[in-house]
Amino acid sequence: MSARFDVKIGINPISWTNDDMPWLGGDIPLEVTLSEGKAIGYEGFELGNKFPRESSALREVLARHGLALVSGWYSGQLARRTVDEEINAVGAHLALLADNGASVMVYGEVADSIQGSSQPLYKRPRFVRPQDWQAYADRLTSFSRYTLERGVRIAYHHHMGAYIEHPADVDRLMALTGHEVGLLFDSGHMTFAGGDAAAMLAKHIKRVCHVHCKDVRQNVIALARNRNWSFLQSVINGAFTVPGDGCVDFKSLLQLLYDADYRGWLVVEAEQDPVVAPSYRYAEMGYRNLRGLIDSIDTSRAAA
């Protein structure tokens, strides 16, 4: 293992323009997003709704700014679809990622999800019967095997308002799926869901292939639960923020990743209203806080 934590920091464009609520930052051009991200120090971007969806066009716009394609969200529906149906649906997106050098695909289960609706979070979907859990896990493993054969690993995103939200959901999914299924560990969603982020990362670190570094404001997520807010209401009211601006212990998370020899991306992702939380200022804050913690990692522990 190298003495330093040799990891790349990327960002999701949601700090500039929100995919679920495109009117948030809808007036900010993609060129501004990319140039500001590069100026701050980010090495790559995940996809957003303003990015080209044709391989050569995407490659050209990223190369113009000296940026890498980190990954891209895919709205999967394996809770309702067959594996063959999902394979047919993913084709263009998978090719776009593979053609542009991304080695992971963010898989978000959107079937029956309430993450984009006005319903309170407690109304999220759930698998109840053991056979439903197993059937879903089997379909996910088969689908993940297909994408992996094409050079892109599934990074499963546990997400508020979806089937896999709570820590127990993540535990069960990881137990039932094969090693082909990677885990996207999102510190913000895990904390919002009531989990101990460090404990959950330590438990599943061998399956983690992608990391979203999202902070949370504890008082806001408490209000979200007490007032039965929807996911989007929670976002608008400031549930999420960039690393160092909330309650998540990123120092512990990064130490765990270093000790496990994690080599994937660290992605700053914090959906906020850019009018309230100016994009450049918060993206820079997240980068500086994360970079500082990375540089202070205790490199003696893993070798001990």
Q: Is the pLDDT of residue 158 over 50?
A: yes
Q: How many residues does the chain have?
A: 304
Q: Is the pLDDT of residue 304 over 60?
A: no
pLDDT tens for each residue of 59-91: 999 999 999 999 999 999 999 999 999 999 999
CA distance 147 to 144: 5
pLDDT the model gives residue 299: 79
Q: What is the pTM of this model?
A: 0.96
Domains of the chain in sequence order: 8-295 (3.20.20.150)
pLDDT tens for each residue of 92-137: 999 999 999 999 999 999 999 999 999 999 999 999 999 999 999 9
| Averaged pLDDT, 233-244 | 96
pLDDT the model gives residue 301: 65
In percent, the amount of the chain with pLDDT more than 70 equals: 98
pLDDT tens for each residue of 9-67: 999 999 999 888 888 888 899 999 999 999 999 999 999 999 999 999 999 999 999 99
pLDDT the model gives residue 23: 81
- At CA 80, angle to CA 74 and CA 83, rounded to 5? 70
pLDDT tens for each residue of 221-234: 999 999 999 999 99
pLDDT the model gives residue 302: 52
Cα distances (angstroms) measured from residue 288 to each of 9, 14, 33, 60, 292: 11, 18, 17, 28, 6
